[in-house]
Structure 1
């Protein structure tokens, strides 16, 4: 940029060069404007870190010659007329101030150095700017317990912003040295201790705005705050103040316009009686404190007319506050989670024509839902969820609130149907009617009329019919949750019009038919839940979008192989296909799901070996292959994530829908896990299969695992000593296998609640009855004839106990098969079998009558077997 054409503007007073990319070299050019009064250089790349060096002519405008090769901020000292200087959002560092010499700017009234990176020495280097009235040092990296002594003597300073600095504990006591202050911003300054009870802050009688939010201040509010009679805005939020507000001096600050006491430990009466004399009070925020009901309900009339009120928190508020009857200018009210008696305050909406938001969730309100008679065009957000309202939703609700954006009536006892007048809410974006007793169908007017709808939650009701009208378009719809109803039929094609849909949940209904392949065309789909229905048939090839992260299809009647149904879904984190009738092998492309965390394939008819590609999934936390026909060994390389699962969709969906409930067998019971609890679950369930071989010692390296179930298989060998590393294990089931040898020392597993090695070939003494093992009964060890010791009745001193297996025998347990010479057994069995077959063949060859009878018996047996299979297939053997 060149200033050649501007050199004649000797009398220029206002110059704004903000939000560019100027660097240090811009400073000397500014001297062609000696009359400047206002200079704005904010949001540039000026650093002012070079030293001043004279090396000869650098540039020349008219008769002026400048001789600087490295230009710094020192030249700013030449603007004697400067009154406004904004240097915020640059790259200044701690070396700027020795170069600025701002003390020569004797007329400077406004200085903004915010959002740079200074040190504490910056403050003392500013100089004696006696005319300065407004100073911004917020987010300047001022650390090291800045005290008031670091600041020059600013007797005329009216506005001081030190937000996000580190202030000395004595700062509030010494601040009286700036008696002219009107605005003091000390948010996030790591202040601690109490507010001084004398002098200090209480001496700033001209103070109009005080922000001390997000600190560690504590104690009660000192009575000397009553001296701040000019105070209009006070923000004490996010501290640790205590005490009853009725005993505080706040009720005497009659100039107060905005008061924020949120996120403290105050006790505040729900009547707001301490604030009744604050006639100018417009905005009051008391949320996240203790709200209590007055013993004597006041009959006084408040002098204030509130605009906004935040009173949500905890406590018992008694009856609905009476002061609301005198409020006519309310715009925003939030009183969530305060226990109150009474019906829905429809009169509050009627009396306040500018009210646009009313939040009353979890307030224990009851009775029928009554609405104002007249239409309220400004009303936009209503949340009265988790109360005890009953009766039906008023049929005129759409006429009463035509401009509604968000409506949450969930968690009540509402009955009847969904009114068709919802279709008149053309601006409705969020509708939650879940967890009520609503019945009937989804009215077509709702889907067609609410064209802006992007969140529809009707879960856990008794709605029936088709889940979506054929005329539905809903191009803005993002969330569609219809689970827990009685919808029937198939998934309508009209849902394919919802091209922005991210979550579709129709679980726990009575839907049937095949799963349509067009679901894959909804490219934005992230969560799909079709579980607990009656869908049947094979899964379509690539029927889900490639970027989907969660798929739930459990407890349907789906069948066939898992060919290419999920091929290419590289972002899958949860895949639940349990409780279906899938067959064939687990596809090898399962190893391509690098982000897979929860994999549930239990209760199917899968066969073959567990694919080794499973070992490529390093983010797995929970694997359930139970109740299948899997064979082969347990892969030794299976790894489970050791740290809590952090999903990338927290906050995107309401009601903690990070993940739908997953059914997991743990501690000998089926349990559902969801949300945060599910994210902490880690387990491996391979029970009820035909797995063979030894238990890999590497399983003992899964030291964060909580669930391990290898029961009802054909596993042999020893229980690995490495199992003593499973310090977080809560449920360990190795029952119904062919394990032998001793039980290793596992008494250090202090979280173990369920333990079973029943029905194996284990021998020796049971673990000592200490810690968790003192709670396990006989059933944990039964079916092992060579085990002894408590809680078993068999004593280890009994002569009937099998002698202890030596280390040499233990090493050779594969070779001799344990206590039986398996090689001799197999040889003798084969010889006997061959002799029997040869004898039968010789008899049938010699005697024709016996030969005809034998073939007749074979034919009859085959015929009976055929009809038996026709009558009983399919028949799935399960183990429970």
Structure 2
């Protein structure tokens, strides 16, 4: 790295006639010294994409009166932007994007910059409102870019009312700028006067408007149109003039209705990126889509589209790299026929009504498919071998179909594999372990796999998710699972695993969800499970993310030829991992980033014995614990009071005794508490969250009393302790004994005893005689004793 102060002081200070400094894309550090003003002949200054920091040297840069181009983008400058820059009346290019500048932007900053052609203030930390009419008199203005990173910056285009721009823009980027937030988020009216635009990006502004057909028709040079994430309503509609220049159109995440124009292939003949996803479009896919010969990325997901996919879409569109049709009502046998899209890398057909058996006739030579998602459809039959022999295939999701037979092993090395909710049978393929450190997420649940977990899984050293629930696996839980140190989610519920819970699982300190429920496990709960759920590292926020870059070039001719590059990576596809976990007495699906914060332990429906380890109270990040339907004994550990984040605690259907610890009233996040069908006794806590639980939480405990149960706790004091075992570290309370129940049981016990005694005497005359002799002897003995004492 080179320190820029030394560079300017020692190397360039003597070059008084220097006109251009271009030090972009180096490793310069430090700040720009104010002494730069001594280079008074400078016309072009660029320190773009270095590691410069500090505030901008106002008294230095602002004194360069001949300056025409100033590019400080891609650094770490902070502080406010000085008003002195409005004195640079010769300035044509002003780019301070991708820094850390703060404060507000005053309209007077631009008032005198009448030569300005290019301004880019994107990706800073500006606040407040900027009136776009500040640029109205800048007759040479062609490029304006403001991309905000937060919700604190606003662009106002409607004040003053009726202002008319003196410029004709070629590039307008106002993304995430809260356009006209106080004016009802209306479409900028000054665009009525623009006819030379090449790029328009108004994404992420919640604009409320109809689809601007008039705008597209009035700007025949439009190349890039992005209205993503607004409230655009209406239809795409016709007429749309043939626009040979448009190659990027994104109207995703809006409120558009109607159908896709039948002649869309003729309207945009050279389009390469088309994203109409997350709207309410209906009807079939037009056959003219097969005429989009230049299309590279096509996203029509999350609409109400129906009908069959045009057969030629996957054969004629030879440049197609990404096709996403997810979450529609499309049908047909799309994968039962050949396709020739050799460039196709992403094919997402999930959650439709596609049917049929996958064809075995796909030629894999040259096929570059690396992501395939056909989940949530009606595909059937066996998985063809070509699918697992694709060496580029990194992500395969075929869950929730009707596939059957054995899953074929191949040469593919997976990072994400989900074949759950099908009818696969046989032993678990050992080849899954051959993916080694590449495998991050493996979902095999809800199939018919038998046998044990293959030892080859020991190779999955970077595995985050392992879901093998709802199968017919047996044997013991293998100890080597404890060697998968990166594991965050381990789901083995509803299998035939037997034996004890291996203590090796305690080595999984990053584990967030552990579900071993509904098996045949026995023995005690390992107290070392206190070691899990210790990590708070974010790994699930975006499991797989596919972006597509806008590489539009707009050249600015100055001392140095520059191009305006949008440098934007728009999300084409985001795959977030998802699992099911039982909590709050229901099975919920947790997806994406929530998995980084959800943590739970489910050991229910086994044959576990012994006491609940008090060490489980050290799982301070745990949100759900389910130990129900086992053979656990002893008391509820008072250490559970440390589970500050717990929301669901189910320890029902065991043999627990003692009282409900009163210290649990401090668990303010607890919304589900179930201790039914145990041997608990005493009064039920009434404070805080415990006042919200119903009688269902406590049923099947005959010695519990107090609301919400109908059985009240008697107010009479007694020293008897037969009914309640004393709570650890607590004194016995007289009101913990149900006196009505005690008296009734005492009388009934004596009555049964006497009736049994007299019954025996009645049926056995010999014992009767002996009893009367004994009574007679006792009477004589008492008589003579009293006579000797008192007579």
* Bin for the TM-score computed over the shorter chain: 0.7 to 0.9
Q: Bigger shift: 556-565 or 183-192?
A: 556-565
Give per-residue Cα distances to partners, 1:551-572, cap 9 Å, x unaligned: 3333334444557363444333
Distance 1:410 1:657, change over 3 A: closer
- Residue equivalent to 2:601: 684
- Residue equivalent to 1:183: 93
Q: Distance in 2 between matches of 1:307 and 1:209?
A: 19
Q: After TM superposition, give the deviation of residue 726 of structure 1 in Å.
A: 1.0
Q: After TM superposition, give the deviation of residue 127 of structure 1 in Å.
A: 4.5
Q: Distance in 2 between matches of 1:597 and 1:167?
A: 39
Q: After TM superposition, give the deviation of residue 315 of structure 1 in Å.
A: 0.3
Distance 1:739 1:281, change over 3 A: same
- Residue equivalent to 2:230: 314
Give per-residue Cα distances to partners, 1:689-713, cap 9 Å, x unaligned: 3322222221111111111122222
- Residue equivalent to 1:609: 500
- Residue equivalent to 1:440: 356
- Residue equivalent to 2:585: 668
Given candidates 23, 30, 45, the residue that maps to 1:135 is 45
- Residue equivalent to 1:503: 416
- Residue equivalent to 2:532: 640
Partner secondary structure for residue 614 of structure 1:
helix
Q: Is structure 2 residue 303 aligned with structure 1 residue 387? A: yes
Q: Is structure 2 residue 200 aligned with structure 1 residue 290? A: no
- Residue equivalent to 1:750: 668
Q: Distance in 2 between matches of 1:475 and 1:242?
A: 49
Q: Distance in 2 between matches of 1:444 and 1:424?
A: 14
TM-score for both structures, normalised by structure 2? 0.79
- Residue equivalent to 1:854: none
- Residue equivalent to 1:228: 138
Given candidates 651, 655, 667, the residue that maps to 1:734 is 651
Q: Is structure 2 residue 673 aligned with structure 1 residue 762? A: no
Q: Distance in 1 between matches of 2:258 and 2:725?
A: 80
Q: After TM superposition, give the deviation of residue 608 of structure 1 in Å.
A: 2.9
Structure having greater relative contact order (Cα 8 Å, sep ≥ 6): 2
Give per-residue Cα distances to partners, 1:117-139, cap 9 Å, x unaligned: 5655x432224222211112345
Given candidates 574, 577, 580, the residue that maps to 2:471 is 580
Q: Is structure 2 residue 328 aligned with structure 1 residue 412? A: yes
Q: Is structure 2 residue 510 aligned with structure 1 residue 628? A: no
Q: After TM superposition, give the deviation of residue 757 of structure 1 in Å.
A: 2.1
Q: After TM superposition, give the deviation of residue 370 of structure 1 in Å.
A: 0.9
Q: Distance in 1 between matches of 2:487 and 2:289?
A: 54
Equivalent residue runs for 1:309-708 within 5 Å: 309-320=225-236, 324-325=240-241, 327-372=243-288, 375-418=291-334, 423-444=339-360, 446=362, 448=364, 451-468=367-384, 473-492=389-408, 496=410, 498-520=411-433, 523=434, 525=435, 545=436, 548-562=439-453, 564=455, 566-638=457-529, 639-647=531-539, 650-652=542-544, 657-662=575-580, 664-708=581-625
Give per-residue Cα distances to partners, 1:620-672, cap 9 Å, x unaligned: 2222222333232221121222444533794436765443423x221122333
Contact 1:182 1:207 in 2 (8 A): yes
Q: Distance in 1 between matches of 2:239 and 2:718?
A: 83
Given candidates 71, 74, 77, the residue that maps to 1:161 is 71
Partner secondary structure for residue 617 of structure 2:
helix
Q: Bigger shift: 650-659 or 399-408?
A: 650-659
Contact 1:423 1:450 in 2 (8 A): no
Partner secondary structure for residue 126 of structure 1:
helix
Equivalent residue runs for 1:14-413 within 5 Å: 90-92=1-3, 94=5, 97-100=8-11, 102-113=12-23, 122-138=32-48, 143-146=53-56, 148-151=58-61, 153-163=63-73, 164=75, 166=77, 169=80, 171=82, 173-198=83-108, 200-215=109-124, 216-238=126-148, 240-244=153-157, 252-267=165-180, 274-294=190-210, 302-320=218-236, 324-325=240-241, 327-372=243-288, 375-413=291-329
Q: Distance in 2 between matches of 1:246 and 1:340?
A: 28
Q: Bigger shift: 644-653 or 357-366?
A: 644-653
Contact 1:395 1:420 in 2 (8 A): no
Let me know the Cα RMSD of the aligned residues: 3.5
Where structure 1 has 5 or more consecutive residues not aligned to the other structure, the ranges are 1-89, 526-544, 814-818, 820-880
Contact 2:178 2:205 in 1 (8 A): yes
- Residue equivalent to 1:57: none
- Residue equivalent to 1:71: none
Question: Would you say how many aligned residue pairs link Structure 1 and Structure 2?
Answer: 694
Q: Distance in 2 between matches of 1:653 and 1:96?
A: 41
Give per-residue Cα distances to partners, 1:265-310, cap 9 Å, x unaligned: 1159998864243333211111111232259986995154201111
TM-score for both structures, normalised by structure 1? 0.72
